[in-house]
Structure 1
Amino acid sequence: MKLTINNETAYLYTNNKEIDSAKPSVVFIHGAGFDHSVWTLFARHFSRHNWNVLAIDLPGHGRSSGDVLTSIEAMSDWIIEIVDHLGLQRVALVGHSMGSLITLETAAKMQARAVKVVLIGSIAPMPVSDPILDATANRPGSAHAMLTSFSFSKRNLMGGNPNPGMWMVSDSMRRYEEEIQAALDVDMRACNAYRNGLEAAAMITAPSLMIHGDADRLTPLRATQTLQAALNDARFCVVPGAGHSLMVEDPNLVLDQLKTHLLS
């Protein structure tokens, strides 16, 4: 589905279905340098179970036009514009990595309109190291390789995807390469600059779920404690043997967790 927001095209994957405001709705928000396609499995499942699914491409990503937004706050405001444009009064929000920060900010702003929250691979704050920022700005190929390497557990770098014939490392590299060069750098700097995560978490009224790999090297498990403590009503799920790219490292477990949380 394509919408016009602020004179630019906004793309939402809806599994080729029209939005029905009478149905429950879930918004999927991708991480830095990616697009809606990381959510295909999960969006299709909930669509088949009579949900509105909105797997969005942020501005300047995937099929959405416009400049890449430079702050988590601006990305959150854009998400709310999408939800308002579609006339949805209550939505669940699911975000991965940078998308989890956008989810925190959006849920805090929406208050009771955000009925469920899922944070995948999330910490707050979410600092990005200087070597990574230097690479995203000046050496995009190196940045893609570096982030891909760090995104998977050491075990899963060698393979292990439950879907036969899929090489997770190559898939990650291709996703980065298909985005415009500026997107990853701007996204990473937005993550690094965002300081409102814990305050936003404390304002969230919806039941929350955090899903985290115990071998995550980008947002280490030990760094999740402050965010867990800030959330008012949160459940925490640790995925054994998984890194930061949970939606491909253990898609079935992530889907089961989403079903349990969103359908309860």
Structure 2
Amino acid sequence: MMKLQNADGTTTWYEECGDPQHPTMVLLHGIGADHRMWQPQLERYPNEGYHVLAMDMLGHGQSSKVKSLTLQDWANQITDLLQAKGVDRCILMGVSMGGVIALSYVAQYPDRVSRLVVSDTFGELKTFQAKMLGVVSVFGFHMYKLLGPKMLANGMASTYKAPFAQEARTYFEAVSLEVDFDQLVLARKAINQIDVLNQLRTLSVPALVMAGDQFGAWFVDMNKRIADSLQDSHFVEIPQSMDPSNLVNPAAFDKAVLEFLR
């Protein structure tokens, strides 16, 4: 793990793998997770010819805890890391919360992104079902703060109980015991503000959008709407997978990513 002091005084911890001369990938994890969510990709992508940076986002992992949090704060965090590494343009990849952050970033700074990969995410919360998801998620973190991290770990064990999701189950059971629920409330409120689908329509950045099939048609459709908003996009539905697909079905996720990047 490496440490970077950001311009706003916060600290980013991140993992760096691969040859810095190779194209740089920045990996953005989901809510309640950290850079270790990307373990399958950290092991594989450097061998496929990529320089990989996997961050702990603000409010997560070893990076700074914060008193307030916005999508712009995370965008600044990404920019600070790219500047520190002397990287002008990156392949930006985000799953779940990381996908929201990636969409927000590319909408603001399209010139800094050569390719975009997002999965199991959303670009707006406009429908009743989507808005309720945002509200219930904030309420859920407040409840888990009262109930304790062991209850969240049990909830994760139930969510990822399918035989094909065992790697995700093991990871989330462990990481759930380390989370700061106040930070997760701030993070969830921040991603609930995303509203970029109209902005995405003006972008020409090549994009891959994916979604696991296990959360139902409405979740897949939410991701398809992102792909439909981008001028140059490809959509892949990943079988036997759910948020985060990179960890639940890394073989199918990586196959789609590497084919897209070639």
- C-alpha deviation, 1:132, in angstroms: 2.8
1:69 deviates by: 5.3
Partner of 1:172: 172
Does 2:188 align with 1:188?
A: yes
The structural deviation recorded for 1:29 is 0.3
The amino acid of 2:83's aligned partner reads D
- Counterpart check, 1:144 vs 2:152: yes
Q: CA deviation at 1:70?
A: 1.6
Question: For residue 5 of structure 2, what is the amino acid of its counterpart?
Answer: T
1:133 and 2:135 aligned? no
Q: 1:248 to 1:49 in 2, by over 3 A?
A: closer
> 1:139 is matched by which residue type in structure 2?
Y
Work out whether residues 114 and 206 of structure 2, in 8 Å CA contact, stay in contact via their aligned partners in 1.
yes
Task: Summarize deviations over 1:210-242 as a string: whole Å, max 9, x none.
Answer: 111122259711223432221111101111232
1:182-211 CA distances to partner (integer Å, 9 max, x unpaired)?
22211111122222x213422432110011
Within a 5 Å distance, the mapping from 1:111-260 to structure 2 comes to 111-126=110-125, 127=131, 128-140=133-145, 141=148, 144=152, 148=156, 152=160, 157-161=161-165, 166=166, 168-195=168-195, 197-216=196-215, 220-260=219-259
Instruction: Specify the alignment match of 1:26 in structure 2.
Output: 25
Asked if the contact 1:96/1:122 (under 8 Å) is kept, the reply is yes
Q: List per-residue Cα deviations over 1:74-133 (Å, max 9, x = no partner).
A: 212221121122210120000011111111121222223311100110222144343332
Q: 1:34-113 to 2 correspondence within 5 Å?
A: 34-67=33-66, 70-113=69-112
1:8 and 2:7 equivalent?
A: no
Q: Which AA in structure 2 matches 1:2?
A: K
Q: Is the 8 A contact 1:60 1:68 kept in 2?
A: no
SS in 2 for 1:10: strand
Residue pair 1:27, 1:53 contacting (<8 A) in 2 also: yes
Query: One-letter code of the match for 1:193?
Result: Q
Aligned-partner residue type, residue 178 of structure 2: E
Deviation at 1:170, TM superposition (A): 4.1
Q: How large is the RMSD of aligned CA atoms in angstroms? A: 2.6
After alignment, is 136-145 or 73-82 more displaced? 136-145
Tell me the TM-score normalized by structure 2. Answer: 0.85
Gaps of 5+ in 1: none
Question: Within 1, Cα distance between the matches of 2:173 and 2:67?
Answer: 20
Residues 167 and 248, structure 2, Cα contact 8 Å, conserved in 1:
no
Name whichever of 73-82 and 111-120 sits farther off. Answer: 73-82
Query: SS of the residue aligned with 1:137?
Result: helix
Contact 1:2 1:10 in 2 (8 A): yes
The 3 A distance-change label for structure 1 pair 218 and 54 is: farther
Q: Distance in 1 between matches of 2:167 and 2:83?
A: 38
Q: 1:251 to 1:98 in 2, by over 3 A?
A: same
Between 28-37 and 172-181, report the one with greater CA deviation.
172-181
Shift in CA distance, 112/224, structure 1 to aligned 2, threshold 3 Å: same
Instruction: Classify 1:168/1:27 alpha carbon distance in 2 versus 1 (closer, same or farther; 3 Å).
Output: closer
SS state at 2:57 partner: coil
Could you list the runs of 5+ residues in structure 2 that have no partner in the other structure?
Answer: 126-130
The letter of the residue matching 1:160 is F
Secondary structure (helix, strand or coil) at the match of 1:259 reads helix
Question: Shift in Å at residue 137 of structure 1?
Answer: 1.9
Distance 1:207 1:120, change over 3 A: same
**Secondary structure at 2:88 match in 1:** coil
**More moved, 68-77 vs 34-43:** 68-77
Task: Check 1:137–1:84 CA distance in 2 against 1; reply closer, same or farther (3 A cut).
Answer: same
8 Å Cα contact 1:28-1:39 kept in structure 2: yes
SS at match of 2:79: helix
